[in-house]
Structure formats: C-alpha cells, structure tokens
Structure 1
C-alpha cells in the first residue's frame, strides 16, 4: 500500500470513528423517545383516567437516561380536574418496586394522599391502586411520587383544577411550565456523596484560584477578602453553600427539555398568556424572568391573589405561581429560569410561531452569602458583637458558638382562649437555651421576619422582585379566625454530616406533632440553618403571615423559610388522620427533615377514627 493510499484509508477510518463517537444521541438511538412529550387527561371525566408507571430510556438533553415515565413521558401528563366533581385515577405500577402518587396541595381524605407509611401502604410492584376523591378547590398544583428517590427520576407532572364558577383571572391562552432538575447519576449515589463529603457538588467555593474574581465582584481589597474568608471559616460556614446539588451533575429542564432544546410557548401578539409555573425539582430553586416583559402574578400555590406586577420571582421547590404576560409584538421572548446558585438554567421561548428564538441572558455572577443573607444584619445595631474581628454588620450573632445559649429564653408554645394576635406580630425572637445538639451546628442568636427580602443574589440590579410581603389573598378565605394555640419549630441541620431535621431530631428520632381536630393553630418556624427550606404540610392550608391581616394574608401549601428567618403560619386542623410535614428538598427530607402530623380528637386523647 502506498503512503498516500495508507493516509487516505486510515484518515477515512479515523474520521468515520470520530463521526460515530460524536453523532448526536438521537441519531445513535433513533428508537428512543424524547422527554417532554406529554399529553393531557381529565381525571373528573365520568370514566376517570389511567396512569402507567414504567422504567424507560428517554433522550434527556441529548443524552439517553433511564427514568420513571408516566404514560411514557417525563414529565407525566397534565392532569385536569373540575372543582365540585369527583376525581377517579387508576395508577398501574409497572415498576419492579413499590410506588405512589401524592397530589401536592390537594385537600382530600388522608388515605388518598399517597404517602407510603403515613397514609397508605404504597402501590406494590405489578399492582393497581385507585384514587378517588372529591375536588374541593381550584388552581394550579402538581403531583409526584413520595417513594424513595423516584421524584428525582422523573416521576412528577402538573395538575390543573378548573374552577366551578367564573375564573377571576382573564386570559386568552394558557401554557404549562414545569421546571425540574435531572441527573444521570443514580440518586442513591448522589445522596451517598452528600453524606460522605460535605459540599461534594459545590465547585464554586472560595479558593486561592478565584480570589481575584471575588475582589472584582465585591470591590474589596485583598486584605478585606481574606479577612472575610477567615471569618466564615471561623464559623465553620461556607458563603457559597447555597445549593447542595448543582449544575455539576444536574441538567436543568423546562417541560422535560434542556435549555438547548428550547421548548416553545405559542401566542399571538396582543393575547394575554397565562403561564402556570410549577417547580417540580428535587433540589433546585429558580429565579424566573422574561427579559423585556413584565409579569403579573395572579396566583400563588393555586390560590388567587391580588395581582402583583413584577420583573422576576424566585420559586422555591414545590411552589407554584401563575403569571399573566402579554406579547406586545411579533417577536420572540426568552422565558429564563436561572438557578439560585447560578450553576445553570432552563429556558423556553414565547413566540407567535415555531422556529423563533430570542437571546439568552448572560448568566449572572453566582452570589455569595453575606451576613445580611444569613439574617445577621437586621434592624441595625451591633449588639453583642464587640471584639469580634471581621464581623462587621453581624447584629444578632452574639454567642454564636454552635452550642447552648444559657442566657436567652426562647418563647414557648402558649394558649389564648380569646385568640392570639393576627396583625403586627413580633419581628424578632431570641434563639433560647437549646443548641439542638450535634444535629444543628449553625444558628443565629435571633431570628427575624424576612418577608421583604428577595433572597441571595436578587434585588441589586434595579429589577422588581416578588417577595412574600407582596402576596395578598384576592378574597378572605372562608372560616379564617385567630389561632388559640401556638408553638415554635426549629429547622435544624448539620451540613458537614448532612443531617437535617426539626428541633435537632431526624424523623426516626422524633414523635408525632399533634393537632387537635377543629383547632386553629399557629406554628412559628425558625430556620437555624444557613440554607433556605421549602416546608410543605399535607392535607391542610397554611395561612402565611405576610404582614397583612385575617382578610388578606395568603394561603399556601409550601412556604420558603430563609436562613435565620422567623416565619409564621396559621392552620385550621380540619382534616382527620395522619399527614406528612416536611422540607421539600428531596435529599433533606430523606436525611430526616420530616415529621408526621396526627390530627387527633384531643391533645390528651387518642387518634380520631377517620372513617367515622
């Protein structure tokens, strides 16, 4: 063989091999379906609906991943219901393991709630379970597995309940927007990594290599940056510890599509478009905006609110927001959902026809927690901070030694026959004598209302950002009254060991929280950790104190509690049975941030017979 022939032959072989190795996944796997191709079903139709749970290979972001599909798709189909009718849903479990579906935010009998070990036994492999319940509300919700890490594998979808009466929201077109996160790793390995190495997926930590970036971003001199880093190190904290699981392993999805796949939401110029936005992620908070278009928020967690125009909002895991936008012209606009830690984003396009696209915004610099983000610089002042070098602005941090605070008194639960106050609630509480043991290694001495705070990395660019303080119910919810009992619940964690819980205890170590049937109860949640936690109560509404009153405070099924925050919710215990109450960060819940709530006949008596 001549040299020329040899080079041509080997070159062709090399090129063919290269092209084979670099062919897109869809070309190598022509028979593999793409994620994001979901349909719509009506669960209140006379014959009901059937859902099929299966393990299946799907193309996700151009790669083949094995997930759990519902009727062949990730996300599952949009399930519609009509208020005032009965829902009938047959779930066929074709998985090799037990499964479940929880109807997130839906009021129903506890044995239809879908939480294995709490409200039912689960759906065994190869069997069918029938959910049947009256639909007593309307709005945008979602559904997902409550079994192990199945939610991380794609077991989720949107749920829309159409109102029985005229919808107060005026719109021409509606679109489903399901935000989520996907990993090609086994979720059990992700959890093991988090338990084994603190900050395993945090590739944005302060290092010598990025000290110049921090100087440029903050405008600080070298000595100031080093001093601040030493301060954080002295507290055993990391200012970049914003997300446990990041873009280092996650692909961020909108309706099952990656940013490169760019799902399109069609509308004509001048039309009012309703976007029903659900955060179905396992771990990821998103900051949502549409550059060039304002958004009017009209619903939060399925409940109508007084419209609020904004430019951006942070949506915690498990929350839902409905927004109205109007396309002003025949141009494309980017629906941009940037992760809170800035390690990635999901996106789609709002346009009048397929094929249009708009510019993708420049990703913002990832935020670093500061003392304000930790709730340590509130109301001014420097009490107790004398002599703590490098702690400027850390009001409220006195005595932060990760142990007991013997000189402080934490308000305990109390009863009030005539009702507790419902307006102008206390703005600050001291931590109290308990450090909650080794399961809680960070805590500020004081916790504060943070209803006006948009969150780390937001609010410094001139854009309007939605906060809880802006949420007001469109109408006063029925039967709302002042609570007569209250207690304090601490959100606790040890990031180094990845232990999470309430009052320093994991679920396996805790007792049930008992609500008395019919009572009006207040829970004051205090976040002792340096991370935000989306807290979800099953079966009952949480009336969020947002600075308003009994007429206007909003109802939510999930509330985001920020670091060092005091957040108050009032609950009507009108749902007999046992219910889940937990952080909706999947790996936090698995690590222990979960409690069982029992609605009982009396606090001294036994459980209620729910069937009666």
Structure 2
C-alpha cells in the first residue's frame, strides 16, 4: 500500500514487486503438469471474498482451426467474476506463463496500485509468482477484466465481471444472460502485429474494384492520389478472425433458453481485441438500460454498435420461438451468432452479411462541408466533389485540400514528425452518428445522443479545457496522441489536479474509429443532455475525422492509463499516462 502522498510511480512499482513475491499461493492441481491443456469454451462463475485465478498457456480449437491461447483457469473466456457492492475482495492471480502478465479490472474504481497496468501502476506479475489485488467494491454494473501485458488479450486472456447491488429490490426481469463478444485467430498476435507493420491493409479483403459501387471515378482517383482506401474500416478482419459469443463460434450453435413471456436482461460486453460489433436480434426490440455499467433512461432501438471495451445492458421480451442474436463485425467480414429460443434445439434464420462499408469524405474530417453528420460529399455533373479544388496545384497533382490534410500546425512543434500522415481539416462533433455502416439502415439505431443518466450528476462548470488529437500514420502503422507515441511520453504525462474539473475534447485526425478508454474514472459525455444528465462512461468511440467531448472530474488520485482500446493501436503507441495529484490528505 502507499504510505505517503509523495510516493513516486517508480518507488511504488518497486515496492509492489516485493508485495507480489510475498503473496505466493499454492498452484491449483489442474494448472500443474507439463502438457498443454485444451481450453474449455465458455466460463464458470466465481464469487466470494477470496478468488483464485491462474494464467496459463492452452490450445484452443474451433472446428478444424486451432492455435495458441492464454487462458485463465483453463477456459476461454476466463471465469465470470461476480461481486457485490460494499464487499472487499481479494483476487489472488498466479502467473504460470513464461513471461510477465497482469489483470486490469476494466471499469472498476480501485486504488491505482491495483489497477493492473505494468509500468504505470504496478510492475506486473512475473512467471511463477502470485499477486493479490485487494480493494473495496464501490459500484454496481456490468464490466470485464483482461490482461494489460503485451498482446495476451488477443489470445484469450479476458473475462466478464458483474457487480450486484448491495440491496437488491427485485431485478425487473425474469432471466439474465451474459454475452461476451470477442474473436479468435490461429495466428500468434505478434505475427499479426508484424503483418500490420509491413502492410496495414494486409487483412483487408474488401477493397473496391474499378467498377464496384456508385463512387464516381473522379472521387476514386482522389482517394488513390491520397494513398487512402475507402474500405479501410478494420485493421484485422474476418479473413483471419472467427467471431465468438462466450467463446463459441457460429458453428457451435450456442443457445440461450427462455420461457415465453419472460423479460430477459442481456449483459453485452465487447471483449474483443480489435472488433466493433453491430448487435441486433431481428424482430426483437432492444431496450438499453445501462451503458458501461451506469444506469441510463430506457431507450429502445433495433440495433446498436458496441465498440471494443464498451458494455451495454439490454432488456428484451422475445416472443415464443427462436431468435438469432447477430453480432456483425463493423466491416461486415463476419459475425458472431447465438440463438435465443423458447424451444431448445429450434433455430431461426441467420441473416446474410450486409454489403461492405465504404468511408465518405466526412470520415476524412470534411464533415462540415456537406451539411450533415456523416453524410457523403455532394458531386457535380462531372462526378467531382463539390466545394473542392481539383486543379493541378494540389499535392499528387490533385486536390488543393491535400495540403490542408498535412497541415500539422494544430499540433505542438515537437509532434509534427513521421508518425502523423493527416490532420482532419474540418472535424465536427458526431455524437449523433450511429456508427460506420449504420447511418443508412431503415430501422432504429442507438446514438450517443440517446443516452441520459438517470442518477443526476453533480453540476460543476469545468475549470479548464484540454484538446487531445488522435493521430497516426496508417501506412507505417504508427498510432499516437498529439503525434507522440507512448514510449516517447512516459515521463510527460497528462496532468490533472485532484478534484479538478476538465472539459476534454478528443479530435480524431485519422480515418478510423477509436474507442478511447480512461482508467480509474468515469467521465460525462457532452452529448446534448443537460449537465445533470450527461451519461457517464469509461470508454468513448471517437468517429473518423470527428471530435467528441467529455467532462471529467479527476477525483481518483494516482497514475492511470489512457489509451485506444484497439489492442494493436495501443501496442503501436496510442497510449498515455494520466496523473492525478496531489493525493488527498489521508487518502493515499
């Protein structure tokens, strides 16, 4: 534990290493032995004051595809940890890998030394050692946990976490299911990273042909001159991923049984490494009751996009029969599938994958030119983009806008290097955008502007404002904040005073959506709701070429990770440290 408010991150990491070595516990019998065990699909439930978790290597099979896995207690996903508000929990984590590991409790409010980020809040768990996380449980809701070491999360090192209220006055539903969405690939994650560094479009099998779609030839040529691909939606796709629901592939025929007339709560967690999912149950309305574990006013939709690391709690009332749960990858290269059925064994039609998504000029940061959030640019009679200068003076012999997209003057002088290949010229707020590919469907889709907190927030004006740019060079697969990779800014954190109220605007200068996660805090989306009812979240999708704003009260002292939750983006540099100081008197 921390003895002094003036403790440094370095001294804390050293002292916590000693604590890790001192808390070794016996290894469970199932985890011993020399042979590589096969991972079980799905998860058991663990509860109580003392919970034991063992990280080990496994082999995971999906039909005739198999590969390397990192599992916890032998299953993929790892166990469901079910806690109760007000309890104190001790989680004893034993590492049986041949490399360091860790567990981060995603969305839980914990003392920062137990947040589980090696090099930021503790040293990690060395091979053969056990580390005990101990903290009071201060909240309720749907969350999850995962490794924050290397790329282990991609290999199966994750699981669900639920916190029940201390005083339950009746659930308001008849049945509950957890839906943990993820993906599996037989490729080792470091092999995936190498392929992305060599060619960032390596896994993109949906590139347009010369005659495909309705994009005018002139616009195709402009995309080509800018060396950008309008089908570059997801870095890693269904060309290597199998999409999972609770560790089960579509061919596994996973089912969730209910009785006709029941109200069912679905706790949906996106525990993937790199995938945004568009979730729907055709013919069944979805009523959203929580976002990131926090209560929101009921809003009923037919589909929603859930970004990597987000959670949504839904209530559904399906009619008798079978209903297909569809978790379609945002780039539409595959889907996770399960069945909600009142007749075990009965199945409904699985819809076909929809047409691939194509980016628009709004996704390039030109949204304010078309008068609509996320709409396409208008075109003149010759197919050229209205409002653009197509003279020969532009870079690559094309648009005059090419220069503006490389105008790095918005960034600090020391952040204008090779790691930035574009700056969004005219980013707009796209809180009301439903997500790539969902702006043209003919049914109700959730938008951030639909969310309203049911428990009023304390109303406080921000003390100051802060703007952070999400930057990258897609050809070199370099990702960063303000043009600086994490390795370059470890000793230059984002600094907040304890209890300071800050309005943070994230400007996405890239053409990819980024789910941005702040550890240790909830922030309030500036989404058009009144200040008292701005929804509280821990993860925020920032749409391509756009900006998004949240209000943060920095009331959790310590050092916290702040990063894109697309695993390979974080690994490539889109991460920072947020430090909140000073420690309150007696609170360290």
Q: Return the TM-score normalized by structure 2.
A: 0.87
Q: 1:521 aligns with which of 502, 515, 523?
A: 502
The reply on whether 1:372 has 2:372 as its aligned counterpart is: no
* Alignment-derived partner of residue 119 in structure 1: 121
* Structure 2: runs of 5 or more not aligned: 1-35, 390-398
Deviation at 1:376, TM superposition (A): 1.9
Give the direction of change, closer, same or farther, for the CA distance of 1:322–1:394 in structure 2 (3 Å limit).
farther
Give the direction of change, closer, same or farther, for the CA distance of 1:553–1:326 in structure 2 (3 Å limit).
same
Deviation at 1:188, TM superposition (A): 0.4
Q: 1: distance between equivalents of 2:253 and 2:448?
A: 30
* Alignment-derived partner of residue 462 in structure 2: 483
Q: What is the CA deviation profile of residues 51-75 of structure 1, one whole-angstrom value per residue up to 9, with x for unaligned ones?
A: 1111012323443322111111000
The reply on whether 1:443 has 2:423 as its aligned counterpart is: yes
* Alignment-derived partner of residue 85 in structure 1: 87
Aligned-partner SS, 1:189:
helix
Q: 2: distance between equivalents of 1:394 and 1:538?
A: 41
The aligned runs of 1:66-465 (5 Å cut-off) are 66-166=68-168, 170-208=172-210, 211=211, 214-215=212-213, 218=214, 224=216, 226-329=217-320, 331-378=321-368, 380=370, 390-392=384-386, 399-401=401-403, 402-404=405-407, 436-465=416-445
Q: 1:37 aligns with which of 35, 38, 42?
A: 42
Measured on the aligned residues, the alpha-carbon RMSD in Å equals 2.6
Q: What is the CA deviation profile of residues 288-341 of structure 1, one whole-angstrom value per residue up to 9, with x for unaligned ones?
A: 000011100100000000011000000000000010001221x10000000000
Aligned-partner SS, 1:260:
helix
Q: 2: distance between equivalents of 1:465 and 1:199?
A: 29
Contact 2:218/2:384 (CA < 8 Å) preserved in 1? Answer: yes
Deviation at 1:434, TM superposition (A): 9.7
Deviates more, 1:354-363 or 1:581-590: 354-363
Aligned-partner SS, 1:378:
helix
Contact 1:543/1:553 (CA < 8 Å) preserved in 2? Answer: yes
Deviation at 1:378, TM superposition (A): 3.2
Structure possessing the higher radius of gyration over alpha carbons: 1
Q: 2: distance between equivalents of 1:377 and 1:505?
A: 26
Aligned-partner SS, 1:582:
strand
Give the direction of change, closer, same or farther, for the CA distance of 1:167–1:572 in structure 2 (3 Å limit).
farther
Number of residue equivalences: 536
Give the direction of change, closer, same or farther, for the CA distance of 1:33–1:295 in structure 2 (3 Å limit).
same
* Alignment-derived partner of residue 16 in structure 2: none
Contact 1:376/1:393 (CA < 8 Å) preserved in 2? Answer: no
* Alignment-derived partner of residue 413 in structure 1: none
Give the direction of change, closer, same or farther, for the CA distance of 1:458–1:611 in structure 2 (3 Å limit).
same
Q: 2: distance between equivalents of 1:568 and 1:168?
A: 36
Give the direction of change, closer, same or farther, for the CA distance of 1:582–1:309 in structure 2 (3 Å limit).
same
Q: 1: distance between equivalents of 2:310 and 2:478?
A: 24
Contact 1:171/1:272 (CA < 8 Å) preserved in 2? Answer: yes
Give the direction of change, closer, same or farther, for the CA distance of 1:175–1:192 in structure 2 (3 Å limit).
same
Q: 2: distance between equivalents of 1:574 and 1:59?
A: 44
Q: What is the CA deviation profile of residues 72-129 of structure 1, one whole-angstrom value per residue up to 9, with x for unaligned ones?
A: 1000111001011111111111111111000000001000100000000111111111
Give the direction of change, closer, same or farther, for the CA distance of 1:522–1:504 in structure 2 (3 Å limit).
same
Q: 2: distance between equivalents of 1:518 and 1:611?
A: 13
* Structure 1: runs of 5 or more not aligned: 1-30, 411-430, 602-606
Q: What is the CA deviation profile of residues 247-295 of structure 1, one whole-angstrom value per residue up to 9, with x for unaligned ones?
A: 1111111100111112111111110100100000100010000001110
Contact 2:362/2:368 (CA < 8 Å) preserved in 1? Answer: yes
User: Whose relative contact order is higher, 1 or 2, with alpha carbons under 8 Å and at least 6 apart?
Assistant: 2
* Alignment-derived partner of residue 425 in structure 1: none
Contact 1:152/1:187 (CA < 8 Å) preserved in 2? Answer: yes
Contact 2:424/2:508 (CA < 8 Å) preserved in 1? Answer: no
Contact 1:333/1:349 (CA < 8 Å) preserved in 2? Answer: yes
Contact 1:231/1:390 (CA < 8 Å) preserved in 2? Answer: no
The reply on whether 1:565 has 2:546 as its aligned counterpart is: yes
Q: 2: distance between equivalents of 1:160 and 1:83?
A: 10
Aligned-partner SS, 2:91:
strand
Deviation at 1:169, TM superposition (A): 5.6
